[in-house]
Every structure is written in C-alpha cells, then in structure tokens.
C-alpha cells in the first residue's frame, strides 16, 4: 500500500476504503492520490465535516483548469466508489450519481505534432545527469519511446519487466493491462537495438532489479514519479498545451494511434480492416475506442494532406472519450 498521510476528519474512513480495495487485490495507486487530493480539499473547505455530504462531493466534482477528461472521470469514479463503500458500511453518506461522468465535455485528446516529438526526444536523449538519480537520463529516453512506439498506457510501461521483452523477435508481453487483460505486441527493430544497448548499462547499476525502467531506487516507477518526470521533460522541451488541452502521459498513446491511422490512409489501406487490428494491438476492449481516433486525423493533418473526413463519416460514431 502507498504510504500517504491523510489529515481531514474523513481520513480514517478513507484509509479503511483504500485497505478494503487493496485487500481485494486492486491496484489503487492512482486512486490513492485522488483521495489524498480530496482529503486536502476537505481539510481546506470542510475542516469540521465528518461525513461525505452532497455539498462536499459536488464541489469536488467540477472540472479543474488544465484537467483532461480522463483525469476528471477518474476522480469522479474514485469518489463515487468511496461513497458506495461508506453506504455498504451503513454510514451516512452521499453517492455521486452514476450519470455524472463528464463524458460530454468537449475536450479533445492531445496529439503531439512531429516538431514537438522531435524536440521532446532531443531533450531526453541529452538530458542532464542529477545527483538525486543515477538512471533518470537513461530511463527517460527508453520508457517514453516504448510508450510512443508501442502505444502503451503509462502503467503498462511502468510494470514492464526485462523478461517481458524478447530482443531478437521484438515480442513484448504486456501484463496487468486495463481490465486486468494481458496481450502481446511487437516493436520496431530499431527500438530493440536501442534496448540492447540500454540493458547492459542499466543492469550494471541495478543488477538484481527485474523492472525494465527502474526509478532512482531501483524500483518500479510510481504513477506520481512517472508523471513528474514527463512534466519535467515536456516543459524543458518547450511543449505547452492550450487551455484545458494539455499534453499528458497518455498523449504518446494517442499520438501513436492517430499517426498510425494517417499512415494507413496515405498508403491507401482499408481502414475498416485495419482499425480492428489497431484496437487489438492497443488493448481496446471496445471497438469504439479505436474509432474515436478518426476524429483527430483530419484535425491534425487536414492542411498538409487534404484529408476528407466525409468519406469515413458512415463508420465514425458519436461517442464519449474512451481510452
């Protein structure tokens, strides 16, 4: 369990809830940080409140400046589950309605332009060494390349083991994916060549660490540490968002999918045939999650390619943001 200190009058109930989830085998790292943020919110605005009430929850369930839709929905889902847990324990509580999900808020996914990607990887390939971490400058170029080149979710990159990667075939075993499903992906030869150069160096520093991308202590990156590293690298690369449309760890995955679809379009491939393959590669449970990326191909490439969105209008549903 993550060692986080809670300070509001709801702190005991929050800790009980996290233990309840952990005892049932749930990975609750990101949600724990949501609950820590909620605890700080309660301490500031409801310092005398001992129950989860409606005013408190609805005040929390508002979109923050620069917050992405997936992060917003994740926060709401966490506080909804907390309310249901308290109701299960027969405590006075307010449960956020299931219909309040934020899915209709028109926030587009962030897709990197080629220029931004070049600047990002130029920086991480030449980033400064620090006394606090002997491996950050080694891990960042590789971890973020895996996320971009293979379309990985942030957690899928964090939990990668050295044994999950076959350097000869490019076969990568993705464990503990979304919905606890596993899958196999294949990576480019040049990424495998970089991995062959990277592994002996990282192994000499942490010889007994099975994780492919260790943190400064030779352990698996936490969600918070991975997010901090990304924010540092993208700011140093001069990459900034626009309003609420900010680049985040999932932007590599969204860029991978959007560029792949555009490349198939240029090659004259049948997208109706290719998109299910892309969905399987990315581990999408719902075909609509893959179709959603079609919305962003013309947005990114219309001026340079004359992409005609109308030719695909019959297969693109109006859907909420799916990851």
Spatial separation of the C-alpha atoms in residues 297 and 108, rounded to whole Å: 12
Q: Which residues of the chain fall below pLDDT 50?
A: 101-107, 303-323
Asked if the structure places residue 244 within a domain, the reply is no
Asked if the structure places residue 109 within a domain, the reply is no
The predicted pLDDT at position 21 comes to 81
Asked if the structure places residue 228 within a domain, the reply is yes
Domain extent, residue 72, equals 11-88
Of 259, 233, 316, 250, nearest to 69 by C-alpha is 250
Coil, helix or strand for 273? Answer: helix
Instruction: Domain count for the chain, please give it.
Output: 3
pLDDT in tens, 147-186: 999 999 999 999 999 999 999 999 999 986 665 578 999 9
- DSSP letter at 213 equals S
The predicted pLDDT at position 2 comes to 59
- Here the tokens at position 109 are 């996914």
Spatial separation of the C-alpha atoms in residues 91 and 16, rounded to whole Å: 13
Residues in the chain: 323
The number of C-alpha atoms within 13 Å of 100 and in the hemisphere containing its C-beta is: 16
- Whether residue 70 is found in the same domain as residue 122: no
Contact 123, 97 (CB under 8 A): no
Spatial separation of the C-alpha atoms in residues 177 and 110, rounded to whole Å: 22
The predicted pLDDT at position 42 comes to 92
- Whether residue 170 is found in the same domain as residue 202: yes
Contact 61, 73 (CB under 8 A): no
Contact 233, 144 (CB under 8 A): yes
Q: Look at the block and give the residue holding tokens 């080149």.
A: 149
Spatial separation of the C-alpha atoms in residues 319 and 323, rounded to whole Å: 12
pLDDT in tens, 91-102: 888 888 775 544
Q: Look at the block and give the residue holding tokens 């075993």.
A: 173
- Whether residue 22 is found in the same domain as residue 73: yes
Of 54, 88, 122, the one marking the end of a domain is 88
Of 82, 2, 69, nearest to 39 by C-alpha is 82
- Whether residue 135 is found in the same domain as residue 195: yes
Structure pTM? 0.65
Asked if the structure places residue 275 within a domain, the reply is yes
The predicted pLDDT at position 192 comes to 96
Asked if the structure places residue 296 within a domain, the reply is yes
The predicted pLDDT at position 10 comes to 93
- Whether residue 79 is found in the same domain as residue 139: no
- Whether residue 122 is found in the same domain as residue 231: yes
Of 197, 212, 236, the one marking the end of a domain is 236
Coil, helix or strand for 161? Answer: strand
Phi and psi at residue 5, to the nearest 5°: -95, 125
- Here the tokens at position 77 are 């889902």
What angle do helix axes 136-149 and 189-205 make, rounded to 10 degrees? 150
CA angle 322, 97, 46 (to 5 degrees): 110
Contact 107, 244 (CB under 8 A): yes
């Amino acid at each position: 369990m993550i060692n986080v200190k809670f300070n509001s009058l709801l702190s005991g109930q929050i800790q009980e809830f996290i233990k309840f989830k952990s005892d049932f085998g749930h990975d609750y790292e990101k949600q724990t940080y949501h609950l820590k943020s909620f605890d700080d919110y309660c301490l500031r605005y409801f310092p005398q409140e001992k129950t989860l009430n409606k005013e408190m929850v609805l005040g929390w369930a508002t979109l923050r400046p620069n917050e992405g839709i997936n992060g917003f929905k994740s926060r709401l889902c966490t506080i909804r589950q907390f309310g249901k847990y308290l109701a299960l324990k027969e405590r006075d509580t307010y449960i956020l309605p299931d219909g309040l999900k934020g899915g209709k808020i028109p926030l587009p996914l962030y897709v990197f332009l080629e220029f931004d990607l070049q600047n990002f990887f130029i920086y991480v390939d030449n980033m400064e060494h620090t006394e606090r971490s002997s491996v950050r400058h080694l891990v960042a170029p590789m971890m973020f390349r895996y996320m971009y080149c293979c379309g990985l979710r942030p957690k899928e990159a964090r939990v990668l083991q050295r044994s999950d990667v076959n350097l000869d075939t490019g076969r990568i075993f993705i464990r503990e994916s979304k919905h606890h499903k596993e899958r196999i992906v294949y990576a480019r030869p040049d990424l495998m060549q970089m991995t062959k150069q990277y592994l002996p160096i990282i192994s000499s520093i942490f010889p007994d660490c099975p994780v492919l991308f260790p943190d400064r202590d030779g352990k698996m990156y936490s969600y918070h540490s991975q997010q901090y590293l990304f924010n540092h690298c993208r700011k140093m690369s001069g990459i900034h968002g626009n309003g609420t449309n900010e680049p985040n760890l999932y932007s590599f995955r969204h860029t991978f999918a959007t560029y792949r679809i555009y490349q198939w379009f240029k090659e004259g491939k049948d997208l109706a045939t290719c998109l299910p393959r892309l969905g399987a590669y990315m581990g999408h449970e719902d075909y609509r999650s893959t179709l959603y990326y079609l919305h962003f191909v013309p947005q990114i490439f219309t001026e340079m390619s004359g992409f005609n969105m109308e030719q695909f209008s019959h297969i693109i549903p109006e859907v909420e943001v799916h990851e």
